[in-house]
Amino acid sequence: MKKLRKKIIAGNWKMNKTTADAASLAEGLKLELGDCLDVDIVLCPPFTALSAVSGIIDDCHMKLGAQDMHWESEGAYTGEISSGMLRDLYCNYVILGHSERRAYFGETNETVNKKVKAAIAATLIPIVCVGETLEQRESGTTEAVVRDQVENSLAGLDDDLAKIVVAYEPVWAIGTGLTATPDQAQDVHAFIRKLLAEIGGSDIADGVRIQYGGSMKPANAAELLEKQDIDGGLIGGAALDVRSFAEIVKAAM
């Protein structure tokens, strides 16, 4: 049966691009992709460039996302950004629990869970990231790790489970040039959908989009995206260039 889920391609620009560089990338992407309605396209620049990119894409179909947020709405949390601040800049999405935040900045399933709930309360769509390290894959614990991340990052959502996007990003494939094969990725995506069904029932699980992330590029996007449970991509390096990001989006059409 053909999938009914609309594909979603998001560019995670990570800690790259000054305001001027981000604006020029956004302008270039708007020319190529601004009219696209077949695929949901999300640009996630660094916080400092959100405002500039927001102003550029506000008259086209691309959406804005942030790369993280705090769960509190305001207060004495030096260096943090709240959901309301993101909404104020017309963000629609926020990446949460990226493996780089988990590995370098102490993000845990518990903090991700608080952030997911705060994002949904602010009508932001969380893109919740999960994925195993190379060591975990090689020791055969991929499913246990992903189960722990999914169950605990998404605990207590009930029907709000329908309001999220999940990104499966095997840590060993991020920025390494190594990509999960389409079959490897599909296996984990199907497993994640099974977990979502256990949590929220199969109707909700069937509607949740699960992106793949980890060295996705024009050369491998089509074969990944044609898999039954791969509903899009969360793109790092290849999102920093108009041509490569546009080609990935076209592979999703």
Q: How far is the CB of 198 from ligand 13P (least distance, A)?
A: 26
Q: How far is the CB of 15 from ligand 13P (least distance, A)?
A: 12
Find the catalytic residue in 100, 107, 132, 169.
169
**39 or 216: CB nearest ligand 13P:** 216
Q: Annotated catalytic, 98?
A: yes
Instruction: Say how many residues touch ligand 13P, by CB under 6 A.
Output: 14
Count of beta carbons in the 10 Å neighbourhood of residue 23: 18
Binding mask 85-114 for ligand 13P (x = CB under 6 A): -------------x----------------
Count of beta carbons in the 10 Å neighbourhood of residue 45: 28
Binding mask 23-62 for ligand 13P (x = CB under 6 A): ----------------------------------------
Nearest-angstrom CA–CA distance, 172 and 167: 15
Phi, psi of 115 (to 5 degrees): -65, -40
Interacting stretch for ligand 13P, rule CB under 6 A, among 24-32, 35-43, 52-60, 234-242? 234-242
Q: Structure tokens of 226?
A: 């044609």
Give the DSSP per-residue string, 185-238: HHHHHHHHHHHHHHHH-HHHHHH-EEEEESS--HHHHHHHHTSTT--EEEESGG
- Which position among 164, 221, 234, 251 is part of the footprint of ligand 13P (CB under 6 A)? 234
**30 or 101: CB nearest ligand 13P:** 101
Q: How far is the CB of 216 from ligand 13P (least distance, A)?
A: 6
Beta bridge partner(s), residue 208: none
Beta bridge partner(s), residue 10: 42, 234
Q: Which of residues 120-179 bind ligand 13P (CB under 6 A)?
A: 169, 174-175
- Which position among 168, 237, 245, 246 is part of the footprint of ligand 13P (CB under 6 A)? 237
Q: Annotated catalytic, 70?
A: no
Q: Say how many CA atoms lie within 13 Å of 150 toward its Cβ.
A: 31
79 in the Ramachandran plot: left (φ > 0), alpha (ψ -120 to 50) or beta?
A: left
Question: Are the CB atoms for 80 and 60 separated by under 8 Å?
Answer: no
List contacts with ligand 13P (CB under 6 A): 12, 98, 169, 174-175, 213-216, 234-238
User: Which residues are known catalytic residues?
Assistant: 98, 169
